Structure 1
Amino acid sequence: MGGSGVQAAVEWLAAVSPDPDACRREWERDPLGVALLPAGRLWDVLILPGELGCRTLDVITRLVGRPGPVLVGFGDARMGFFVPPGTAEHWLGTGVRTVGGGAWIVVPCPDRTSGAVRWLVAPDGAGTLTDASLLELALHEAAAAPAGDAGR
């Protein structure tokens, strides 16, 4: 992502912070740093187990090209898909952790692609999110496919 794309992503993410200026300053001082941001205002996050998340991301990418933001963390054991606000409240799937209104999530600087928590798909700064219905369909396809076969 280019410099202006990173800046737009910083502004988009920081907008949900109780103190957007402090959030931006933290990322500017330490680009490998993270911020704790509230979910539920501009986005919710659905967290999948790592292997299933990778297969799901493969399916989504095949269908739409570029999904909304996707985080990976905890030794690649979990992947977080950014979806429209309100999704977490209505999600019924099992094995998926939801982060919505009233919850907070660790978010790295938008250009961070290495470290304990990093972006697999960085925010585009325009607010693009993964459609929850598309994520559900991709999740079903990925879960039904033998390991390593999703997206083929």
Structure 2
Amino acid sequence: MTAFQTKAAVDWLLSAAPDAAACRRQWERGPHGMVLLPAGALWDVLILPGGLGHPTLDVLSRCAGRPGPVLAGSGGERLGFFVPPGTASRWLGTGVRAVGRGTWIVVPHPGRAAGVVRWLVRPDGSGTLNDPGLLELAMHEAVVGEGRRGGE
């Protein structure tokens, strides 16, 4: 990621913050390079268990080229796919946690290595998000693919 892309990603993420300057300071000075940002305004997040999330990301990457932002947390045990606002209120998928308006998520700086939470797909600064319909199809394909591999 170039310095320009990192700046664009930082600016885009901070546009969701109630106090962008305070978040920027926390990112720059905090020992962990993480901030809390509100979901529901610029994005919602669908959190998948790692066993489903990783193969879903593989399928999504093959179908969509470069997917929208994706976070990994807890050693890859959970993946968070950034989707358009409002998705969380309509999502019905079993085993998927939908995070939207009224909730906050931990977000690492897009230009630095992070610890517990890290970017698998960094935001590009343009506001590109994962399409929920395509994400759902990728989840189905990931489950079917896992079933095929399990039966081999």
Answer yes or no: same fold by TM over 0.5: yes
- Residue 28 (structure 1) shift: 2.2
The total of aligned residue pairs comes to: 149
Q: Which residue of 1 aligns with 2:122?
A: 122
Q: Which residue of 1 aligns with 2:146?
A: 146
**d(CA) in 2 for partners of 1:148, 1:3:** 42
- Please give the secondary structure, in 1, of the residue aligned with 2:59: helix
Structure 1 runs, 4 residues or longer, greater than 3 Å off: none
Bigger proportion of residues as helix: 2
Q: Which runs of 5+ in 1 are unaligned?
A: none
- Please give the secondary structure, in 2, of the residue aligned with 1:98: strand
- Please give the secondary structure, in 1, of the residue aligned with 2:118: strand
Task: Within 5 Å, give how 1:1-150 maps onto structure 2.
Answer: 1-30=1-30, 32-146=32-146
In structure 2, the CA distance between the partners of 1:108 and 1:148, relative to structure 1 (3 Å rule), is farther
**d(CA) in 1 for partners of 2:52, 2:123:** 21
Of 93-102 and 21-30, deviating more is: 21-30
**d(CA) in 2 for partners of 1:113, 1:83:** 23
Indicate the percent of aligned positions where both proteins have the same amino acid.
Answer: 64
Of 14-23 and 110-119, deviating more is: 110-119
Q: TM-score, normalised by structure 2?
A: 0.93
Q: Which runs of 5+ in 2 are unaligned?
A: none
| 8 A contact 2:33–2:114 mirrored in 1 | no
RMSD, matched Cα: 1.5
Q: TM-score, normalised by structure 1?
A: 0.93
- Residue 86 (structure 1) shift: 0.3
In structure 2, the CA distance between the partners of 1:112 and 1:31, relative to structure 1 (3 Å rule), is farther
